Structure 1
Amino acid sequence: MSTQTHAKGVAAQRLASARALMSREGIDAWLVPSADPHLSEYLPGYWQGRQWLCGFNGSVGTLVITHDFAGLWVDSRYWEQAEKELAGSGVELVKLLPGQQGPLEWLADQAVADSVVAVDGTVLAVASSRALASKLYERGARLRTDMDLLNELWRDRPALPANPVYEHLPPQASESRRDKIERLRKSMLERDADWHFIATLDDIAWLFNLRGSDVSYNPVFICFALIGPNSVTLFVAGDKVSKFVRESLERDGVSLLEYTQIGAALREVPGDARLLLDPAKVTCGLLDYLDAQVSLVEALNPTTQFKAQKNAEDTRHIRRVMEQDGAALCEFFAWLDGALGREPVSELDIDEQLSLARKRRPGYICPSFATIAGFNGNGAMPHYRASEAAFAQIEGDGLLLIDSGGQYLGGTTDITRMVPVGRLSAEQKQDCSRVLKGVIALSRAHFPKGILSPLLDAIARAPIWADEVNYGHGTGHGVGYFLNVHEGPQVIAYQAPATPQTAMLPGMITSIEPGTYRPGRWGVRIENLVINQPAGQSEFGEFLRFETLTLCPIDTRCLDLSMLSAEEKGWLNAYHAHVNERLSPLLQGAGLAWLRARTAAV
């Protein structure tokens, strides 16, 4: 029996066990989101129940199990991957499409009188819980959030991570912990709140100038924070905090309690308190600890907005990180050009060599996400990841898509580049050129300060739509400062709601990454990170523009230059001249030669 066949059999057995447990507990449907009590994107093993149940390894997906159906809802980034990994498991792929039913809507639509839907309330956002409970109530059904069925099913469930917490120090940490806490208290007062509860790990890491390694790729640690009128408390496993870090926190007025004490602490919040929290970032199971008399002030966490707007000192560090990251990429691409056709190179080798190149650079900590190296058909899966069990050799003719990034003490990087292998077809070059036109269109844009970021999406898509081509994922996501590679509140995606919190403000770092995917054939994506900078002021208000931060050539061998206008060629040449100027001092030998060849004017 193959490993894959065995995995499908295991998933089917686990579904059967889940249904038996549901029958015993009187549950008609079980909702299993990809989430933890902090609503993180990347989950510690303890909370990877969705993956354990059905075998799908993607980072995002929602599983629903009933007695006669099991379905996994995923967006277009994961359709091909999910189709392969779910085959034979007893779980159906349900494609998430704009305007169509998501898993919560489906559950509500299927509910009948007296039926029960269960979910672990500690991993379901308050906003989602309210929406689902309300819809179920209308059907005479109810939502149970008071049990974690995985505890009984998952006998070898991993332990909670126990990695040490460390300080993010000056010069990279440009604002002190005390100053950040003072800023937060002022924001609480403006919202007429005397208490504030934070569950999101990136917000807490930023606020306290602390980092960790409990979550893959994101330098955060498992914790909660509760700010009262006269107290600031960090809830974290005590054995993860050294005496030095503990004393540093205490000097700044921060008390430490065990991670598991958060429930007891929330119970002690006075009934007359006004508690600020973000209902999209706190789970309903945690809110159940509160006295029913506590008044909730529901708003975006102030820290989310604070950390999204990088200050001038942060930006200087990020620019230096981009130079080091770009130099590492030049060395990598020089190796790749020399190796292709001369020695065996696989998608796994790409990941290994990229990591080695980055590790040689100062301040590097770890990858910012799992490297995506997809050759030809594998590149058509936006979140593809090669594994020892399934990977491609890079040989013959085709397109190689490489999406990678690094965590550095002075910033977080994320970049996608296309590499020609052998001879490219005219259609492949046209796809690459069309995607580049989208990158250039949005990179050159000026826009009003405060515009809601989803509204910018059409600028990048217009040159792609012009040829009746499209792509399913968003065009851009926010990026943290030595924090999560995916951070809001801004997002450039027409599928996302254009809410006030998505306003574009100075200092925000966002990706620009349009694409084109032809299943089974190839995929194209080109990605740079940009930062919002003032562009000027007129009688119509303040305007912003993008400064491109990413420094790495865009391989012109992938392009049909006849598709680019004179203005687009001018942008590309200016970008390449800038890249050459910034990176040349950091390179020598093959890396420098590759840089100069790839930045030659077109």
Structure 2
Amino acid sequence: MMSTASKILAILREAMRKRSLSALIIPSSDPHNSEYVKDEYKCRAYITNFKGSAGTCLITMNEAYLWTDGRYWLEASQSLYPEWTLMKDGHPDVPKLEKWIQLNLGSDVLVGMNNHLSTVAEWERRRKMFNLVPVPEMVQPLMPLVENPVSKLYARPEEFCGMRCGEKAAALIEEMERQKCDALVLSALDEVAWLTNLRGSDVPFNPVFYAYGVLRRCSPPKVHLFVDAVMSEEQGPSLELHPYTALEPYLRTIPAGTTFLVDEYQTSQWLFTLLESLGMRIKGVACGPAQKLKAVKNAVEIEGFRRCHVRDGVALTRYLAWLHDTVAVKGDTSVTEYSAAQRLEEFRREGEHFVQLSFSTISSVGPTLPLCITSHHVKAPQRLCRINCILWTAGPNILTVRPTSRERFVLGSQETRNARRTRSFSRGTSRSTARCGQLAQVVILLTCWRVRRCGSAG
């Protein structure tokens, strides 16, 4: 009897056969190039059973592969359906997906991909390596229907923004004029939220909402927002609302020959192709004006950063004091990874302007250290004790900013920690080399943390 995973692959391969495709690429993203997506776009997770936030599938007529980076190698190896093969992206012995296609299938074969789920830059890069063709979404029709409640949007108070929507639109228009462009389409959800000073909850742990924004050179500036949502309050004259699906009909009303400024690393290939078919001129850039302006914080935002980190620092200090007193001093063995993460959330919720966590707190201790990128502790929590080394990553959504903490520390006194190191070294030198793989994985993950932490410091 065929498993569910095998049945899905059989259906997809039959659809590929009808289109003469040798391979099908299924990414993790959505039409807005998001890393974290709502349930209806979790196609890759549905067909592979791998729930990590990053990964790309390749289905051929005989095999099925998943590429994912070092953060998720262990999790993917444990969760993938048996019909799938893990490809450790970044490993020196594993070719990139595109290179694998060239080496094993050739450059002349037809490879399908939904062009709603690929950026312009990514599509062009792959198109140069093999025959990439757009195909309709094949996985979503196989997934259970997902209820999508109407989004509820709320305005971010001006005291935290420093600039009104109209002022941000005017700044974007100035940049458009310098680039000699007439219009701009924003696809990235964080950019739309930044421009409109609105927040939502379409994606868990992310204060964003599914929408497109269109801005044209005019005075006074007006942002056309394409979204299916209920507004918590009346919006000003700088914002005009349209249904989410009305983007294409609206673009058709814009005269042919209009020059659009397009961020090739955020805009989907579908939208790019649509603009071309409507006779628009397109000026592609590697970094759009909204991304640049959003990155330069005004005085109000900078002060918000400072105040937020002070409040979050208080919560973390209270948490560490509680953890030390409960586990290291009193020796309470009832505390687990999960209950400790819940306690940290409680301290954060008590802070002013707290909205929600920015992701499920990742807490790892003992044998689960190699899984420190995932929130596995909810299902199988490990107990904490005095000699534990704890790794955790956590962060809240606050009205001013989204701070993230990645820390590791050892419970117990200095003498306990020194004794633990000595015993660990003695045992480690006498054990088989099979355990080295786990230790190497921890080193890799810690290195990734450090690189990401330094890279995101700004």
Task: Verify same fold: TM over 0.5.
Answer: yes
- Quick one: distance in 1 between partners of 2:150 and 2:98? 33
Residues 1:233 and 2:235 aligned together = no
- Quick one: distance in 2 between partners of 1:469 and 1:217? 26
Q: 1:158 to 1:72 in 2, by over 3 A?
A: same
**Cα distance per residue 1:202-239 (max 9 Å; x no partner):** 011111111111112221110001112335311001x4
Instruction: Work out the percentage of aligned pairs sharing the same amino acid.
Output: 25
Residues 439-588 of structure 1: pairs in structure 2 closer than 5 A: 473=448, 475-476=450-451, 492=455, 510-511=456-457, 531=458
Q: Quick one: which amino acid aligns to residue 99 of structure 2?
A: E
Residues 382-421 of structure 1: pairs in structure 2 closer than 5 A: 382-395=372-385, 397-421=387-411
- Quick one: distance in 2 between partners of 1:59 and 1:332? 27
- Quick one: distance in 2 between partners of 1:368 and 1:469? 24
More deviation in 180-189 or 158-167?
Answer: 158-167
| Residue among 241, 244, 255 paired with 1:256 | 241
Residues 33-432 of structure 1: pairs in structure 2 closer than 5 A: 33-86=27-80, 88-97=81-90, 101-112=95-106, 115-136=109-130, 142-154=131-143, 156-160=144-148, 162-230=150-218, 231-237=222-228, 239-242=229-232, 244-245=233-234, 248-249=235-236, 251-252=237-238, 254-292=239-277, 293-299=279-285, 300-340=287-327, 341-395=331-385, 397-422=387-412, 423-424=416-417
The question of whether the paired residues in 1 share the 8 Å contact of 2:70 and 2:444 is answered with: no
- Quick one: distance in 1 between partners of 2:55 and 2:198? 29
Q: 1:281 to 1:366 in 2, by over 3 A?
A: same
- Quick one: distance in 1 between partners of 2:21 and 2:387? 53
- Quick one: distance in 1 between partners of 2:378 and 2:446? 29
Q: 1:470 to 1:83 in 2, by over 3 A?
A: closer
The question of whether the paired residues in 1 share the 8 Å contact of 2:183 and 2:259 is answered with: yes
- Quick one: distance in 1 between partners of 2:250 and 2:50? 36
SS in structure 2 of the partner of residue 266 of structure 1: helix
The question of whether the paired residues in 1 share the 8 Å contact of 2:333 and 2:385 is answered with: no
- Quick one: distance in 1 between partners of 2:254 and 2:102? 34
**1:116 to partner: Cα distance:** 2.3
Q: Quick one: which amino acid aligns to residue 270 of structure 1?
A: P
Q: Quick one: which amino acid aligns to residue 142 of structure 2?
A: L
Residue 431 (structure 2) aligns with: none
Residue 435 (structure 2) aligns with: none
Instruction: Report the aligned-residue RMSD.
Output: 2.6
- Quick one: distance in 1 between partners of 2:283 and 2:148? 31
Q: 1:12 to 1:331 in 2, by over 3 A?
A: farther
Q: 1:227 to 1:13 in 2, by over 3 A?
A: same
**1:19 to partner: Cα distance:** 2.5
The question of whether the paired residues in 1 share the 8 Å contact of 2:36 and 2:203 is answered with: yes
Q: Quick one: which amino acid aligns to residue 153 of structure 1?
A: L
The question of whether the paired residues in 2 share the 8 Å contact of 1:399 and 1:424 is answered with: no
**1:331 to partner: Cα distance:** 1.8
Q: Quick one: which amino acid aligns to residue 199 of structure 1?
A: S
**1:359 to partner: Cα distance:** 0.8
- Quick one: distance in 1 between partners of 2:293 and 2:450? 23
The question of whether the paired residues in 2 share the 8 Å contact of 1:29 and 1:66 is answered with: yes
Residue 433 (structure 2) aligns with: none
- Quick one: distance in 2 between partners of 1:172 and 1:74? 37
The question of whether the paired residues in 2 share the 8 Å contact of 1:347 and 1:373 is answered with: yes
The question of whether the paired residues in 2 share the 8 Å contact of 1:195 and 1:228 is answered with: yes
- Quick one: distance in 1 between partners of 2:134 and 2:12? 17
- Quick one: distance in 1 between partners of 2:42 and 2:121? 22
**1:425 to partner: Cα distance:** 5.3
Q: 1:307 to 1:85 in 2, by over 3 A?
A: same
Q: 1:23 to 1:361 in 2, by over 3 A?
A: same
- Quick one: distance in 2 between partners of 1:90 and 1:51? 14
SS in structure 1 of the partner of residue 417 of structure 2: coil
- Quick one: distance in 2 between partners of 1:186 and 1:428? 60
SS in structure 2 of the partner of residue 366 of structure 1: strand
Q: 1:189 to 1:475 in 2, by over 3 A?
A: farther
- Quick one: distance in 2 between partners of 1:89 and 1:107? 22
- Quick one: distance in 1 between partners of 2:164 and 2:91? 42
**1:284 to partner: Cα distance:** 0.8
**Cα distance per residue 1:412-438 (max 9 Å; x no partner):** 110122231354357969x9xxxxxxx
Q: Quick one: which amino acid aligns to residue 86 of structure 2?
A: L
Q: Quick one: which amino acid aligns to residue 331 of structure 1?
A: R
Q: 1:105 to 1:158 in 2, by over 3 A?
A: farther
**1:382 to partner: Cα distance:** 4.4
- Quick one: distance in 2 between partners of 1:278 and 1:271? 20
Q: Unpaired runs of 5+ in structure 1?
A: 1-7, 137-141, 432-467, 479-490, 493-509, 512-530, 532-602
More deviation in 261-270 or 300-309?
Answer: 261-270
How many residue pairs get aligned? The number is 426
- Quick one: distance in 2 between partners of 1:410 and 1:168? 9
Q: 1:225 to 1:114 in 2, by over 3 A?
A: same
The question of whether the paired residues in 2 share the 8 Å contact of 1:400 and 1:419 is answered with: yes
Q: Quick one: which amino acid aligns to residue 235 of structure 1?
A: F
SS in structure 2 of the partner of residue 397 of structure 1: coil
The question of whether the paired residues in 1 share the 8 Å contact of 2:173 and 2:216 is answered with: no
Q: Quick one: which amino acid aligns to residue 473 of structure 1?
A: C
So what's the TM-score if we normalise by structure 1?
0.66
The question of whether the paired residues in 1 share the 8 Å contact of 2:362 and 2:394 is answered with: yes
Q: Quick one: which amino acid aligns to residue 90 of structure 1?
A: E
**1:472 to partner: Cα distance:** 5.3
- Quick one: distance in 2 between partners of 1:323 and 1:205? 25
Residue 15 (structure 1) aligns with: 9
Q: Quick one: which amino acid aligns to residue 150 of structure 1?
A: V
Residue 437 (structure 1) aligns with: none
SS in structure 2 of the partner of residue 289 of structure 1: helix
- Quick one: distance in 2 between partners of 1:216 and 1:53? 21
Q: 1:469 to 1:62 in 2, by over 3 A?
A: closer
Q: 1:471 to 1:199 in 2, by over 3 A?
A: same
Q: Quick one: which amino acid aligns to residue 355 of structure 2?
A: I
The question of whether the paired residues in 2 share the 8 Å contact of 1:372 and 1:402 is answered with: yes
Q: Quick one: which amino acid aligns to residue 134 of structure 2?
A: T
Residue 524 (structure 1) aligns with: none
The question of whether the paired residues in 2 share the 8 Å contact of 1:9 and 1:89 is answered with: no
